Amino acid sequence: FLYVSKKFQKQIHPNIITVKYDSGFVDEFDYTGTRDYASIFAVKDAFEFREKLKETEIMKYNHNLAVLAGKEVAKFWGTETLILNEERIGAMVNVRVPCDSQSVIEDTVKKMLLENKTFLSVQKFKHGKFYARLSAQIFNEIGDFLKVAEEFINIINEMHSEKK
Mean per-residue pLDDT, 76-86: 92
pLDDT per residue as tens digits for the range 86-102: 888 899 999 999 999 99
Written in H, E and C, the secondary structure of the chain is: CCCCCHHHHHHCCCCCCCCCCCCCHHHHHHCCCCCCCHHHHHHHHHHHHHHHHCHHHHHHHHHHHHHHHHHHHHHHHCCCECCCCHHHCCCEEEEECCCCCHHHHHHHHHHHHHHHCCCCEEEECCCCCEEEEEECCCCCCHHHHHHHHHHHHHHHHHHHHHHC
pLDDT > 90 in the chain, percent: 64
Average pLDDT over every residue of 111-128: 91
115 versus 33: the higher-pLDDT residue is: 115
pTM comes to 0.73
Q: Do residues 135 and 100 lie in contact, with contact meaning Cβ atoms separated by under 8 Å?
A: no
Confidence of residue 135 (pLDDT cuts 50, 70, 90): very high
Tell me the pLDDT of the chain averaged across its residues: 90
Q: What is the pLDDT of residue 164?
A: 46
Region of 117 please: left (phi>0), alpha (psi -120 to 50) or beta: left
Question: How far is the CA of 84 from the CAs of 32, 59, 81, 146, in angstroms?
Answer: 49, 19, 8, 22
Tens digit of pLDDT for each residue in 12-55?
888 777 777 888 888 888 866 666 778 889 999 999 999 999 99
**pLDDT reading at 9 higher than 80:** yes
Distance of CA 11 to the CA centre of its chain: 38
